[in-house]
Amino acid sequence: MTTRFIILLGLLALLATAALAESPPADSTRTAESGMLLLPVLGYSPETELMGGAMCMYRFPVQLIDGIERQSSLLGLVVYTQKQQSVFKVKSRLYHDNYIHDGECGYVKFPAGFWGIGRDTDESSLEEYTPESLHLSLNLKRRLRKGCYLGFGYTWKRSILLETEEGGALAAGDLIGSGRTVISECSVTALYDLRDNEWYPTQGSYLLLKAAFGKTALGGDLDYRSYRFDARWFCSPAESQVLGVQVLGRFCTGETPFDRLSLIGGSSWMRGFLEGRYRDAAMLGVQAEYRIRRIWRNWGGVLFGGVADVARNAGQLSGGRVKLSYGVGLRYLFDPAAGLNIRFDLGCSDDGTGFYIDFSEAF
């Protein structure tokens, strides 16, 4: 292992230990309210450059049987970016007694970059392509005990590459998913969630385990499997300060389309790397954030860092060849009742830097 990795791993281990330790609650007096939010969307990321659009969200608090408060929400989103990317999406998350229902449908036309598969792909191997897709996903989870849910889901997606670079791997059709592709996927999900707030947790823990199975028997073109775990811990070491740690892993087998492989990069995971800059069948990483809720009026700040790796399978993941990202950000609290922030992040990596403007926290 490299010295840098050992030092950073030790730091993250200390952060994780602190996150699991008992600490005083930060702000437990927030009371969410029902209401409609109609907002202009203005954002920025290296993948999109400037983006604009509109978001309409209706939300209302729900008191669950076990005493935990959550917010049901219905959201419509329309976005167009400087790179001529279009997103039309409708999402829902509804809580009712013992059940959680998640749904999403949408249309996406999103010019993007492909650098190949693996941890050692070169910047010069970039191929630009334009995928167009329609998708629908549904998931229903039932409460088993306080904070614990088990559920089943279904995802359908039809995609086609409208444009590819001549002479590239995508244009040649050498990769799974580089032609017109339909996926039909069923999934099983286990959820443990005792966070005090979904959008800005200050304490508690979260664990998601998901197994998904793409099947030709369900009308899809491919047979594949993917397994994902997402573990998060939060604590408040001081008033208006929050420490959060996330461990994320995803592993694929079978005929997995290239655009559903496990990724490094983006506005929420390993900021500083372009989304999809590195992709492969297996990915494992950890990131941490130290958040200061208020520095001046409604403005706060955050420090973050993370390490991750991709490989052909889990056995080939290497601590000595991880990718490192780190950065700093500002937060503007525009909805104190719900804990909703607009975030401004500057992420750095060995590949360069990325600036992000987004809605809500990275995790």
Nearest to residue 173, comparing CAs of 127, 235, 215? 127
**Confidence band (pLDDT; 50, 70, 90) for 136?**
very high
The whole-number pLDDT of residue 277 equals 95
Its sign, for the CA torsion 318, 323, 327, 332, is: negative
pLDDT digits (tens, 9 = 90+) for 74-118: 999 999 999 999 999 999 999 988 999 999 999 999 999 999 999
Residue 96: predicted pLDDT: 87
* pLDDT for res 235: 97
261-320 per-position pLDDT tens digit: 999 999 999 999 999 999 999 999 999 999 999 899 999 999 999 999 999 999 999 877
Q: What is the pLDDT of residue 4?
A: 41
Q: Which of 157, 181, 182, 161 is nearest to 170 (CA)?
A: 161
Q: Is the torsion defined by CA of 176, 178, 183, 186 positive or negative?
A: positive
Residue 297, judged by CB atoms within 10 A of its CB (0-12, 13-18, 19+), counts as: exposed
The average pLDDT across 358-363 equals 92
30-34, 76-80, 272-276, 338-342: which has the minimum mean pLDDT?
A: 30-34
Query: Does the structure show a pLDDT above 80 at 20?
Result: no
Q: What is the mean pLDDT of residues 22-51?
A: 72
Whether the Cβ atoms of residue 41 and residue 77 lie closer than 8 Å to each other: yes
Using the predicted structure, report yes or no on whether residue 362 has a pLDDT greater than 70. Answer: yes
Q: What is the pLDDT of residue 319?
A: 77
Query: With 70 as the cut, is the pLDDT of residue 28 above it?
Result: no
56-63's contacts with Cβ under 8 Å and 24+ in sequence apart are: 59/32, 59/34, 59/35, 59/338, 60/34, 60/35, 61/32, 61/33, 61/34, 62/95, 62/96
| Helix, strand, coil percentages for the chain (3-state, nearest 5) | 10, 60, 30
CA distance to 72, 176, 282, per residue, from 257 (Å): 33, 5, 14
Task: Report the pLDDT value the prediction gives residue 17, as an integer from 0 to 100.
Answer: 34
More confident: 259 or 336: 259
Say which residue, 166 or 211, is predicted with more confidence: 211
What structural domains does the chain harbor? Answer: 3-359 (2.40.160.50)
Given a contact cutoff of 8 angstroms between Cβ atoms, the answer to whether 261 and 281 are in contact is: yes
Task: List all residues 6 or more positions away from 59 whose beta carbon is below 8 Å from its beta carbon.
Answer: 32, 34, 35, 37, 71, 72, 73, 74, 338
Cα separation of 73 and 358, whole Å?
Answer: 18
Least confidently predicted of 26-40, 133-147, 232-246: 26-40
Q: Residue 245's beta-bridge partner residues?
A: 233, 288
Query: Whole-number mean pLDDT of the chain?
Result: 89
pLDDT over 80 (residue 33): no
Does the pLDDT value for residue 26 go beyond 60? no
Distance, CA of 223 to CA of 215 (rounded, Å)? 5
Comparing CA positions, the residue from 34, 103, 94 lying closest to residue 64 is 94
